[in-house]
Amino acid sequence: MLRRVAEGVLVHESEFVQSNAVVVQGRSGVLLIDPGVTGSEIDCLADDLQELGQPVVAGFSTHPDWDHLLWHDRLGEVPRYGTARCASTIRDQLSEPGAKARIADHLLETEIAGQVPLDLLGLITGLPAATEQIPWDGPQARIIEHQAHAPGHAALLIEERGVLVAGDMLSDVLVPMLDLADADPIEDYLTALRLLEDVASDVDVVVPGHGSAGGSGQVQARIEQDRAYVLALRNGHVPADPRIGPSAKPGWEWVSDVHEGQLQRLGRC
Ligand SMILES: [Zn+2]
């Protein structure tokens, strides 16, 4: 089911880690950001768009993690964009023998084993590094690229609609998950948060890759919450964060394990 979050912007939420597919209406069809997860959900999304008479005219993946790189025949053969670094990262991964089989294996440990269409995974066209907008016929979608959760991660600002599509940042349920392969994951994450903060005053609705959309007051609050978490990691403090520990939402207790893992990998415990 598509839910409107702003004029001309709709969200389709997956049952799998509350993944959000974002639909932006343009003049002759929609831009589809991070299409979603299971085959039946993508099917449902395709049905909804058909009913609205809105074909998909372009896609965008916010970053090179499998759950943001999916596609389905029914969404059509249209350009699917990502940052140049996103595209090259997934291209390199897929060139390794058995890459998709490893993703399928990983999915066996989840409740959606066998339900995820992997055929068209990661067929992303990289936009040249200095590209500021997604090339499409609709409201301008400004690309805010940074190094934070994954290589070539990008948020999109749909300025006319006051919407920030945040990729896997600014979530109400997931703490910042750092790209631990990055040379300086903490400083890079803080820099990324500053880039998002620079546009926060233009944002009425923030849509994270996973979790609930937030209203205008939420944008700055989530930036501050993420920053406090990252600073606590940096300083080796125990973060007072509602997303981990006993205050985590039911079903999200595993986020505390993610946090523990990050502490260990960063050598701060
Ligand atoms: Zn994700």
Q: DSSP letter string over 50-116?
A: HHTT--EEEEE-SSSSGGGS---GGG-S--EEEEHHHHHHHHHHHHSTTHHHHHHHHHHTSTTTT-S
Q: What local confidence, expressed as pLDDT, does residue 206 receive?
A: 98
Instruction: Say how many Å lie between the CA of residue 32 and the centre of ligand 1.
Output: 16
Q: Which of 117, 112, 31 is nearest to 72 (CA)?
A: 117
Phi, psi of 142 (to 5 degrees): -80, 135
Q: Token pair for residue 43?
A: 């099917």
Instruction: Say how many Å lie between the CA of residue 57 and the centre of ligand 1.
Output: 23
Instruction: Say how many Å lie between the CA of residue 34 and the centre of ligand 1.
Output: 9
Instruction: Say how many Å lie between the CA of residue 230 and the centre of ligand 1.
Output: 18
What's the chain's length in residues? 269
Per-residue pLDDT of the chain (269 residues; tens, 9 = 90+): 899 999 999 999 998 999 999 999 999 999 999 998 999 999 999 999 999 999 999 999 999 999 999 999 999 999 999 999 999 999 999 999 999 999 999 999 999 999 999 999 999 999 999 899 999 999 999 999 999 999 999 999 999 999 999 999 999 999 999 999 999 999 999 999 999 999 999 999 999 999 999 998 899 999 999 999 999 999 988 889 999 999 998 999 999 999 999 999 988 65
DSSP-derived secondary structure for 226-267? HHHHHHHHHHTPPP--TTSGGGSPTT-THHHHHHHHHHHHTT
Range of the domain at 149: 2-265
Instruction: Say how many Å lie between the CA of residue 86 and the centre of ligand 1.
Output: 14
Instruction: Say how many Å lie between the CA of residue 151 and the centre of ligand 1.
Output: 13
Instruction: Say how many Å lie between the CA of residue 18 and the centre of ligand 1.
Output: 9
> Does residue 62 contact residue 157 with C-beta atoms inside 8 Å?
no
Instruction: Say how many Å lie between the CA of residue 69 and the centre of ligand 1.
Output: 10
Instruction: Say how many Å lie between the CA of residue 19 and the centre of ligand 1.
Output: 7
In the chain, the number of structural domains is: 1
Q: What local confidence, expressed as pLDDT, does residue 137 receive?
A: 97
Q: What local confidence, expressed as pLDDT, does residue 268 receive?
A: 65
Instruction: Say how many Å lie between the CA of residue 211 and the centre of ligand 1.
Output: 10
Instruction: Say how many Å lie between the CA of residue 171 and the centre of ligand 1.
Output: 10
Instruction: Say how many Å lie between the CA of residue 179 and the centre of ligand 1.
Output: 12
**CA gap 119, 205 in Å, rounded:** 33
Surrounding ion ligand 1 within 5 Å at CB are 67, 168, 209
DSSP-derived secondary structure for 181-238? TSSSHHHHHHHHHHHHHHHGGG-SEEE-SBS--B-HHHHHHHHHHHHHHHHHHHHTPP
**CATH at 20:** 3.60.15.10
> Does residue 78 contact residue 123 with C-beta atoms inside 8 Å?
no
Instruction: Say how many Å lie between the CA of residue 209 and the centre of ligand 1.
Output: 6
Instruction: Say how many Å lie between the CA of residue 64 and the centre of ligand 1.
Output: 9
Q: What local confidence, expressed as pLDDT, does residue 267 receive?
A: 82
Instruction: Say how many Å lie between the CA of residue 223 and the centre of ligand 1.
Output: 18
The 3-state DSSP class for residue 191 equals: helix
Alpha-carbon torsion angle 162, 68, 151, 219, nearest 10:
30
Instruction: Say how many Å lie between the CA of residue 154 and the centre of ligand 1.
Output: 12
Instruction: Say how many Å lie between the CA of residue 50 and the centre of ligand 1.
Output: 26
> Does residue 195 contact residue 244 with C-beta atoms inside 8 Å?
no
The 3-state DSSP class for residue 173 equals: coil
**Residue 49 CB neighbour total at 10 angstroms:** 23
- Residue 163 pairs in a beta bridge with 158, 205
